[in-house]
Amino acid sequence: MKISNELSDKQGIVAALYQLGNIYYQEDEYEKAIEKYNESLKISEELGDKYVIASTLGQLGRICEIKKEYKNALRNYINAYSIFEDLKSPDKNTVGNLMMKLKEKIGEETFKKYYNEIMEELKKDKNE
């Protein structure tokens, strides 16, 4: 019972942190949003809640894009897309659309460069 309550409490904390992140995002307070999303992400990873992890990565990607941190945005989108795909979630389409809009924004050549660099980094991470 205690484990169940602790799990429930953590899920509630994750939801609250994620919603705070959304509020800060809507208010254009991106650093505060990043802080709350990262807190939510950390607990979600502990819980193994892949859907929330992917959703959070998508939101972090949007903030990176706003901040013109395009490679980081793409990295977050790729990771979110991959998780949504594994979950067979239709939300992968939303993230796919975000990636296509980013491609239009930064140009195909830059997009491909970032994409290839990120994929190499992900391969290295898997091999370690």
For 36-85, write each residue's pLDDT tens digit: 999 999 999 999 999 999 999 999 999 999 999 999 999 999 999 999 99
21, 43 in Cβ contact below 8 A?
A: no
What are the chain's domains?
Answer: 2-127 (1.25.40.10)
C-alpha to C-alpha distance for 100 and 90, rounded to whole angstroms: 16
Average pLDDT over the chain reads: 93
Nearest to 57 by CA among 11, 24, 111, 21: 21
Q: What is the pTM of this model?
A: 0.90
Q: What is the DSSP string of 89-121?
A: -THHHHHHHHHHHHHHHH-HHHHHHHHHHHHHH
C-alpha to C-alpha distance for 42 and 93, rounded to whole angstroms: 25
76, 61 in Cβ contact below 8 A?
A: yes
